[in-house]
A and B are shown apart, each in its own frame.
Chain A
Amino acid sequence: DAKTTQPTSMDCAEGRAANLPCNHSTISGNEYVYWYRQIHSQGPQYIIHGLKNNETNEMASLIITEDRKSSTLILPHATLRDTAVYYCIVRVPSNTGKLIFGQGTTLQVKP
């Protein structure tokens, strides 16, 4: 699995867009980018994933650069409930069962 680098922490004002970056310069051609988040004392929650095209769902948008070396998770209108640790994971979809969660980015949404 490719290594990912995320900022340790970020702040965002409530109602504004939160843009969370992730660097994955060693990503290989068949690896996807996945995003999860973990609200304090709860289990992680799957958010979105993508290969090379930008993706959008009801929770967020994922923008992947053309060279695929970095990506950005966008929460369009952050709320206080979006305060969490956000994890970027790069790997090949498979049935080997292991998700490697690093330190992630702690997003603090402020009123």
Chain B
Amino acid sequence: DGGITQSPKYLFRKEGQNVTLSCEQNLNHDAMYWYRQDPGQGLRLIYYSQIVNDFQKGDIAEGYSVSREKKESFPLTVTSAQKNPTAFYLCASSNRGRSTEAFFGQGTRLTVV
């Protein structure tokens, strides 16, 4: 089955530690995105990538980093510089030029204690 896989579903980390969230897609999509969702809030864009080895900052990129070494993979690292990392993180992908018809993963809920 084609789709986007995020892992793990739940993640707990101690304050001050970096953590990397995985996102893999087998839809052959060029574009991939990371969003953050806080309780009762809409989605906010962290980073996006239109093509391998290229990515752009979204609205709330501070404290996050990404890489796009393979078309299928777009991992997100939440660094210790992110002041409020506890949130629900969503990865999405789309055909290039069709960002408005995106496919989302099931999300990773990160809790920093």
Size band of the A side of the interface?
20 to 34
Instruction: Enumerate chain B residues within 8 angstroms of A102, measured Cβ to Cβ.
Output: 42
Q: Assess the A99–B102 pair: CB atoms within 8 A.
A: yes
**Interface positions of B from 76 to 113, Cβ below 8 Å from A:** 88, 90-92, 96-107, 109
**Interface check A49, CB cutoff 8 A:** yes
B98's partner among A43, A45, A93 (CB-CB below 8 A) is A93
Instruction: Enumerate chain B residues within 8 angstroms of A87, measured Cβ to Cβ.
Output: 42
How many contacts A-B (CB < 8 Å)?
74
Separation of A96 and B102 alpha carbons in the complex (Å) = 12
A residues neighboring B (CB under 8 Å): 32, 34, 41-46, 49, 87, 89, 91, 93-104
Q: Assess the A91–B100 pair: CB atoms within 8 A.
A: yes
Given contacts A49-B101, A97-B56, contact A42 B42 (CB under 8 A): no
Q: Assess the A43–B42 pair: CB atoms within 8 A.
A: no
Instruction: Enumerate chain A residues within 8 angstroms of B35, measured Cβ to Cβ.
Output: 99
User: Closest CB-CB distance, B9 to chain A, in whole Å?
Assistant: 9
Q: Assess the B99–A96 pair: CB atoms within 8 A.
A: yes
User: Closest CB-CB distance, A47 to chain B, in whole Å?
Assistant: 10
Separation of A58 and B70 alpha carbons in the complex (Å) = 33
B11-19, B43-51, B61-69: which lies at the interface? B43-51
Instruction: Enumerate chain B residues within 8 angstroms of A95, measured Cβ to Cβ.
Output: 31, 50, 96-99
Given contacts A42-B106, A46-B102, A49-B101, contact A97 B42 (CB under 8 A): no
Residue-wise interface mask of B (1-17) relative to A, using a CB-CB cutoff of 8 A (1 in contact, 0 not): 00010100000000000
